[in-house]
Structure 1
Amino acid sequence: MSKPIYSFDANTGWLNGAIHIPSPNFNARPNNEVSLLVIHNISLPPGQFATGMIDALFTNQLPINAHPYFKQLEGLRVSAHFLIERSGEIKQFVSCNDRAWHAGKSSFQGRENCNDFSIGVELEGTDDLAYTDEQYKSLNNLKNILQKNFPLIKQERICGHSDIAPERKTDPGIAFDWLRIQ
């Protein structure tokens, strides 16, 4: 299987070459500023990969009765702009021009509501399991494309969910190697 070639459409906010799975869980940004990249992790059920359940969660189609863990997610409306699977495949759920619902109650350098000015990237994984080489390659590729198109996203404005919601979140976790983000 050949690796996709990615390009960004600034007019639409969609990454060409990514798999597009539009989520209904977004709204307009209060302004056009995008100046923060937030890295998360997710697996559904926890610790299980390639189940398709992340796509289902972000599109409000999670089969609540399919796993006991899913009961606590019933009615939850969340999304991220991007998901990078263990294989390195990139999926996009929300245009970068819109506000995805990934950060929740959050603050970066004293500014509240990080969803307003950030792009959220989920890595399929857990806090304590190593991410794959393919994920780091795709993340760096995506990061470079985003920084080219959103020049306010400087290296010091790339953070983890744990950095903007430290009392609530721990992701991307201790297994994430920040030195591999170049």
Structure 2
Amino acid sequence: MENEQPLDGWWESARKVVSPNCDPRPTGEVSLLVIHAISLPPGQFSGNAIEALFTNQLAVDKHPFFAEIAHLRVSAHLLIRRDGECVQFVDTDQRAWHAGRSNWWDARQLSWRRALNDFSVGIELEGNDVTPYRKAQYDALVEAVVWLMARNPQLDSSRITSHAHVAPLRKTDPGPAFDWAYFQQLLTSRVEP
């Protein structure tokens, strides 16, 4: 449409790989960040399987696990690789399909909220519950969060959570290997004067 404003939620520091697994946000609200972890195949790092999953191109003959998940239509806004490289799949002004069945207590609204994809950004860290995340990943995550906060005034450090927290019976990521205190320390040093 002629009068539609172009979406501009693409982070210039990220490599762009467009996922079809997204759609418009119902209200345009971005007020929550959900941190995830992913490794494909499980426990293995590197390779292009995550990008293939998020773009519906996962080759089922490459690993037995891939046949179990190739039908999924999922994405995240950003992926932070083990070396700190950032890959963006979905414009942050769009709704990525990352949180699934989940709910979150919104202290501002004093209510439980569902359909978290409607108002959240999903960031995947290449990793798992037990392998320590790398300094380069924490540094890149902080840079991404600072950028997101600058674009979205409703988002602050109190509105960052884990996939495990919003879907505790289904998910455990980013798991005990993710150092929340270290991440918050790095973030605080960047966002507070």
Q: TM-score range by the shorter chain?
A: over 0.9
Q: Which of 107, 116, 119 pairs up with 1:117?
A: 119
Instruction: For structure 2, list consecutive stretches of 5 or more residues without a partner in the other structure.
Output: 1-5, 106-111, 188-193
SS at match of 1:15: coil
- Answer with 1 or 2: which has the greater Rg: 2
Q: CA deviation at 1:140?
A: 0.5
Q: Counterpart of 1:97? A: 93
Q: Counterpart of 1:65? A: 61
Q: Counterpart of 1:33? A: 29
Q: Counterpart of 2:166? A: 164
Q: CA deviation at 1:71?
A: 1.2
Structure 2: how far apart are the matches of 1:94 and 1:125? Answer: 20
Cα deviation, 1:49-88, whole Å, max 9, x if unaligned, reads 1111000000000001110111110311000000000000
In the alignment, structure 1 residue 22 sits paired with structure 2 residue 24: no
Structure 2: how far apart are the matches of 1:35 and 1:77? Answer: 23
Q: CA deviation at 1:92?
A: 0.1
Amino acid at match of 1:82: L
Note if contact 2:56-2:70 (Cα within 8 Å) is conserved in structure 1.
no
**Aligned length in residues:** 173
Amino acid at match of 1:80: A
**Moved beyond 6 Å, runs of 4+:** none
Q: Counterpart of 2:131? A: 129
SS at match of 1:172: coil
Q: CA deviation at 1:17?
A: 2.5
SS at match of 1:57: helix
Amino acid at match of 1:134: A
Cα deviation, 1:7-38, whole Å, max 9, x if unaligned, reads xxx94110012100000000111111000000
Q: CA RMSD, aligned part only? A: 1.0
Cα deviation, 1:80-128, whole Å, max 9, x if unaligned, reads 0000000000000000010000000011111001100000000000011
Note if contact 2:53-2:70 (Cα within 8 Å) is conserved in structure 1.
no
Q: Given the two structures, how large is their TM-score scaled by the length of structure 1?
A: 0.93
Amino acid at match of 1:101: W
Q: CA deviation at 1:162?
A: 0.5
Structure 2: how far apart are the matches of 1:22 and 1:74? Answer: 17
Amino acid at match of 1:41: A
In the alignment, structure 1 residue 77 sits paired with structure 2 residue 73: yes
Q: Counterpart of 1:146? A: 148
Q: Percent identity?
A: 51
Structure 1: how far apart are the matches of 2:169 and 2:134? Answer: 27
Instruction: For structure 1, list consecutive stretches of 5 or more residues without a partner in the other structure.
Output: 1-9
Q: Which of 150, 154, 179 pairs up with 2:181?
A: 179
